[in-house]
C-alpha cells in the first residue's frame, strides 16, 4: 500500500471520528457524576464537559478526548499520587482547578502528566498544592497555555518543577504563571517557544539543557535564586525578557549561559540581581558567535560576569547602568577576542567620564574598566565585603597616584555611547500598592512638619 493511500485513509478515519464525536456531561448531581466513568463511556474524539463541583478522583485519559471544565470544577487528588495522567495523542484539558498531588520526588507526583501523547493541549487551568505542576514526557507538538501553578509549601530542595519538558520538542509554553515551584525545566526539547510566562519565588526560573532552536520572549523571571541557567545548546533567541531580583546566595544570576552557541539576546532587562549576565565557555564552537545587544543591565551587584577565556561575543548597544561592578572577569585578567562595538558604536556606561566633542553621541575617549580594587575582588572574591569601605577608596587612590600599579583594563569600549539606548519594546513589572510604605512615607513627612509648627508656635 502506498504512502499516499495510507495518508488518505488516515485523513478519512480522523474525519469520520470528528463527524461522529459526541459530548458527555458530568456534574455532581447528574447521570454521570464521575469524570473517570465518563472517560470510560466516551468514544475516541468525544468531548466531556465537567460542570462545577469537587471531584475526588485520579483521572487517566487513555483515549483521545477533550476534557472541558465549565465553571472551574475542582479535581482533588487528596494528597496522593499524580492527579491527572494523559496517555493518548491529541487530548485537551482545559478549565479545571487541580490540587492535592502526592509528595514523592522519586516517583515525580504531579498535578498533570502528559506522556507519549503528541499534540496535547493543557490550557486555562489552576494548579495548587502540587509537587510537579505540568509534566510533558515524549509528547511533542503540544501546548501549555495560560495555566497557573502554585507549588506545595515545602523547602526549596524538595519541591517539584512547575513545568517540565523531557524529550519534548515543538512545544509552545505560553502565558503561564509559576509560583513557589522549583524550576521551569527543558531537557532535550528543541524548536520550542516560551513566551509571556512569569516564574517567581523558585529555584531556577528557567533550567535548560541540550535543547536547540528555541525562542524565549516577553517572559518575567523574578525573585528566584537564579533567573535562568542554560547549558549545552545552540541557536537560542532571547527577546524582551525581564530577569529581576534573582538574589540566591552564591548564585543569584539573572541568566547564565554555559556552552551556548549562536545566542541572540536583545531587548532584555537584567535588574537588581546579584549578577545580571554570566557567561561560561559561551560560545563553545570555534565558528560560533553570540550577539548580546540593546539590553538594560542595571542596579546589579555585578553587571556582567565572564570567565577569562570567553571569546567571540558581540556585546554592543547595551546599557550598563549603576551596577556595583560593571564587568567582572572571574579570577582576574582581561577579556580578549570579544567585540564591544559595531559600526562605530559601543555601549552606554553610566560611569563613563569622557566627553562628546563632535556631538555625534559617541565619546571621544574609550571607556576602560581598569579599577585596581575590582581586579583584586575578581581574583579574591572574599574581598568584596570591602567594596564601599575606605579600604577600596585607598586602593584606588594609590593606583591613581602610582600608575605603575595600575592594572590593564578588563574591557575597553572604543566607542562608548553618551546616552542610554532606548529599547523599542519593553515591559513593566507591576508592583501592587503598598499601604505600609504609603503610611511610612506620610509619617516621615509629618514629623518635620509637626516639629516646625511646634517650634514656630513657641
Q: Are residues 55 and 161 in the same domain?
A: yes
Q: CA nearest 118: which of 95, 82, 143?
A: 143
Q: Does the pLDDT at position 437 exceed 80?
A: no
Residue 3: the pLDDT is 45
- Contact between 176 and 144 (Cβ < 8 Å): yes
pLDDT at 280: 96
349 and 230 in a common domain: yes
Percentage of the chain beyond pLDDT 90 is 76
414: which strand partners? none
Residue-level pLDDT at 400: 63
Mean pLDDT of 242-261: 95
Kindly tell me if the per-residue pLDDT of 136 is higher than 90: yes
Neighbours of 123 (CB within 10 A): 17
Q: Which of 332, 404, 413, 323 is nearest to 373 (CA)?
A: 332
Backbone φ and ψ of 426, nearest 5°:
-155, 165
pLDDT for residue 10 is more than 60: no
Q: CA separation (Å) from 431 to 179, 222, 240, 313?
A: 16, 12, 19, 35
Q: Is residue 364 part of a domain?
A: yes
In a domain, 451, yes or no: no
Distance CA 168, CA 143 (A): 11
Contact predicate 278/250, CB 8 Å: no
Q: Looking at the structure, do residues 281 and 171 belong to the same domain, yes or no?
A: no
Beta strands in 353-425 (DSSP E): 367-369, 411-413
Helices 390-401, 372-379: crossing angle, 10 deg rounding:
120
Digit-coded pLDDT (tens) for 315-374: 999 999 999 999 999 988 788 899 999 999 999 999 999 999 999 999 999 999 877 566
- Same domain flag for 221 and 365: yes
Q: Are residues 214 and 172 in the same domain?
A: no
- Looking at the fold, whether 239 and 114 belong to one and the same domain comes out as no
Range of the domain at 72: 20-202
**3-class DSSP state for residue 140?**
coil
Nearest Cα neighbor of 89 from 17, 184, 163, 2 is: 17
pLDDT given for residue 292 in this prediction: 98
State whether the Cα torsion 367-373-377-382 is positive or negative.
negative
Residue 65 maps to a domain = yes
What pLDDT was estimated at residue 125?
98
Cis omega (within 30 of 0) for bond into 283: yes
Model confidence at 384, pLDDT cuts 50, 70, 90, reads confident
Which residues fall within 8 angstroms of residue 245, CB to CB, at 6 or more apart? 222, 223, 271, 272, 273
Residue 49 lies in a domain: yes
266-308 confidence digits (pLDDT tens) = 999 999 999 999 999 999 999 999 999 999 999 999 999 999 9
Which of 202, 233, 265 is at the close of a domain?
202
Categorize the per-residue pLDDT at 414 as very low, low, confident or very high, splitting at 50, 70 and 90. Answer: very high
What's the domain count of the chain?
2
Domain end call among 202, 229, 251? 202
For residues 254 and 246, the answer to whether their CB atoms sit within 8 Å is yes
Residue 4 is predicted with a pLDDT of 45
Lowest-confidence pick of 197-201, 311-315, 387-391: 387-391
Q: So what's the pLDDT on residue 107?
A: 96
> How much of the chain, in percent, has pLDDT values that exceed 70?
83
Whether 362 and 224 share a structural domain: yes
Alpha-carbon gap, residue 318 to 351, rounded angstroms: 14
The answer to whether 176 and 148 are in contact (CB under 8 A) is: yes
What is this structure's pTM?
Answer: 0.85
**pLDDT value of residue 438:** 55
Lowest mean pLDDT among 34-48, 135-149, 168-182, 410-424: 410-424
Residue 337 inside a domain? The answer is yes
Per-residue pLDDT, 447: 62
Same domain, 284 and 142: no
* Reported confidence tier of residue 251, pLDDT bands at 50, 70, 90: confident
**Domain check: are 197 and 209 in the same one?**
no
CATH code assigned at 69: 2.160.20.10
pLDDT grade for 21, boundaries at 50, 70 and 90: confident
Residue 127 lies in a domain: yes
Domain termination residue (choose one: 183, 202, 221): 202
One domain, residues 413 and 354: yes
The rounded Cα 281 to chain-centroid distance in angstroms is 21
CA dihedral 347, 349, 354, 355 (to 10 degrees): 60
Same domain, yes or no, for 333 and 235? yes
Say if residue 152 is in the same domain as residue 217. Answer: no
Nearest to 97 by CA among 73, 119, 121, 118: 73
Band of pLDDT at residue 223, cut at 50, 70 and 90: very high
How far is 330 from 302, CA to CA, in rounded Å? 11
The pLDDT value given to residue 9: 39
Q: What is the mean pLDDT of the chain?
A: 88
H helix intervals, 276-412: 372-379, 390-401
Task: Pick the closest to residue 151 from 85, 207, 223, 103 (CA basis).
Answer: 103
| 12 inside domain | no
- Three-state DSSP state, 456: helix
pLDDT of residue 389: 72
Report if residue 331 sits inside a domain. Answer: yes
Amino acid at each position: 500500500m502506498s504512502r499516499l493511500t495510507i495518508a488518505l485513509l488516515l485523513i478519512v478515519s480522523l474525519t469520520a471520528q470528528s463527524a461522529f464525536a459526541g459530548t458527555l456531561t458530568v456534574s455532581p448531581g447528574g447521570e454521570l457524576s464521575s469524570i473517570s466513568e465518563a472517560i470510560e463511556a466516551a468514544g475516541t474524539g468525544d468531548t466531556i464537559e465537567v460542570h462545577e463541583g469537587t471531584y475526588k478522583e485520579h483521572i487517566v485519559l487513555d483515549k483521545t478526548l477533550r476534557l472541558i471544565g465549565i465553571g472551574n470544577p475542582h479535581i482533588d487528588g487528596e494528597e496522593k499520587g499524580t492527579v491527572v495522567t494523559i496517555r493518548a495523542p491529541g487530548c485537551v484539558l482545559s478549565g479545571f482547578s487541580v490540587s492535592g498531588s502526592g509528595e514523592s520526588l522519586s516517583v515525580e507526583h504531579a498535578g498533570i502528566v502528559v506522556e507519549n501523547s503528541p499534540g496535547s493541549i493543557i490550557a486555562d487551568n489552576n494548579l495548587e498544592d502540587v509537587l510537579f505542576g505540568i509534566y510533558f514526557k515524549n509528547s511533542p507538538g503540544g501546548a501549555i497555555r495560560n495555566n497557573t501553578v502554585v507549588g506545595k509549601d515545602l523547602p526549596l530542595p524538595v519541591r517539584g518543577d512547575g513545568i517540565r519538558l523531557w524529550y519534548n520538542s515543538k512545544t509552545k509554553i505560553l502565558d503561564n504563571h509559576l509560583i513557589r515551584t522549583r524550576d521551569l525545566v527543558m531537557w532535550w526539547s528543541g524548536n520550542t517557544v516560551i513566551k509571556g510566562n512569569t516564574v517567581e519565588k523558585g529555584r531556577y526560573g528557567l533550567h535548560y539543557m541540550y535543547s536547540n532552536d528555541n525562542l524565549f520572549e516577553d517572559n518575567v523571571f523574578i525573585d528566584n535564586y537564579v533567573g535562568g541557567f542554560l547549558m549545552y545548546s545552540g541557536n537560542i533567541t532571547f527577546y524582551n525578557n525581564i530577569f529581576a531580583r534573582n538574589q540566591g546566595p552564591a548564585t543569584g544570576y539573572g541568566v547564565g549561559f554555559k556552552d551556548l552557541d549562536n545566542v541572540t539576546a536583545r531587548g532584555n532587562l537584567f535588574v537588581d540581581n546579584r549578577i545580571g549576565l554570566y557567561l561560561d565557555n559561551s560560545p563553545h564552537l570555534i565558528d560560533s558567535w553570540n550577539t548580546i545587544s540593546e539590553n538594560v543591565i542595571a542596579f546589579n551587584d555585578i553587571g556582567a560576569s565572564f570567565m577569562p577565556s570567553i571569546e567571540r561575543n558581540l556585546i554592543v548597544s547595551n546599557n550598563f547602568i549603576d551596577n556595583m561592578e560593571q564587568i567582572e572577569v572571574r579570577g582576574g585578567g582581561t577579556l580578549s577576542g570579544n567585540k564591544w562595538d559595531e559600526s562605530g558604536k559601543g555601549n552606554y556606561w553610566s560611569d563613563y567620564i569622557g566627553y562628546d566633542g563632535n556631538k555625534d553621541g559617541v565619546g571621544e575617549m574609550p571607556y576602560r574598566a581598569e579599577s585596581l580594587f575590582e581586579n583584586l575582588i575578581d581574583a579574591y572574591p572574599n574581598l568584596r565585603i570591602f567594596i564601599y569601605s575606605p579600604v577600596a577608596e585607598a586602593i584606588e587612590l594609590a593606583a591613581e597616584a602610582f600608575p605603575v600599579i595600575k592594572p590593564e583594563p578588563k574591557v575597553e569600549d572604543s566607542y562608548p555611547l553618551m546616552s542610554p539606548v532606548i529599547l523599542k519594546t519593553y515591559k513593566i513589572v507591576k508592583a501592587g500598592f503598598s499601604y505600609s510604605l504609603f503610611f511610612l512615607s506620610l509619617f516621615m513627612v509629618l514629623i518635620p512638619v509637626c516639629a516646625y509648627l511646634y517650634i514656630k508656635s513657641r
